[in-house]
Amino acid sequence: MLSVTFAVVGAITAWFLTASNTPSYELSKDIVLSKDGIATNQDNIGTHLAEVELTTLTGGSISTKLFLGSPVVLNIWYSSCEPCRREMPVLAEAHQRYGDKIRFIGINIQDTAQIAKDFYTKYGAEFELYLDTNGRFIGATGIATAPVTLAVNADGVIIDQIAGELSANRLDELVTDLLG
């Protein structure tokens, strides 16, 4: 009984000590919860892409407002996400085929710049990569799970949203829709 008590106290202490190091995110008031209380992604179809500042790999910043003007396939991911690992080669190959017509952008929501760069290199991705280090993008869009892919038209309207792993066929459909 005493060992169980120490284990529980130790677990609570460890949680308390690490909780202060956990980044805080400005969550959207529109986060959707399932009937079980599990956060799911907000439906962004038909809305304008959120205007927030993202972090560049060199520590600078870029506004998502600068993504407008051409169609965009925007992928939200992180390196330890298994579906993200499986879909990254699909995105990299699509960028090779369609990159002259559609802008491909990755937004990493969890990793350091070095881990994100290493992941991109491993999977052959050469499209733009930014970091959502403060959680403003996922907070503004109500993204609660990864991966998520948004198809954004040149005017900045999200015309489709795919939660979960993106297949090559589904990505081709997105490209067709974006190119109209």
Does residue 99 lie in a domain region?
yes
The boundaries of the domain holding residue 99 are: 26-179
CATH of the domain at 87: 3.40.30.10
Residues of the chain with pLDDT under 50: 2-34
pLDDT given for residue 41 in this prediction: 86
Does residue 12 lie in a domain region?
no
Does residue 44 lie in a domain region?
yes
Cα 80–chain centre separation = 13
Q: How many domains does the chain have?
A: 1
Beta bridge partners of 161: 150
Q: What is the pLDDT of residues 54-63, one digit of tens each?
A: 999 999 999 9
Does residue 4 lie in a domain region?
no
| The token pair that represents 5 in the structure block | 């008590």
pLDDT given for residue 46 in this prediction: 96
pLDDT given for residue 79 in this prediction: 97
Does residue 9 lie in a domain region?
no
Does residue 11 lie in a domain region?
no
Compute CA distances 126 → 8, 117, 119, whole Å.
46, 10, 11
This prediction's pTM = 0.79
Compute CA distances 177 → 28, 57, 160, 172, whole Å.
28, 30, 9, 9
Does residue 102 lie in a domain region?
yes
| The token pair that represents 10 in the structure block | 């130790």
| The token pair that represents 87 in the structure block | 């879909």
Of 169, 161, 149, 151, give the one whose Cα is nearest residue 83: 149
Does residue 16 lie in a domain region?
no
pLDDT given for residue 28 in this prediction: 41
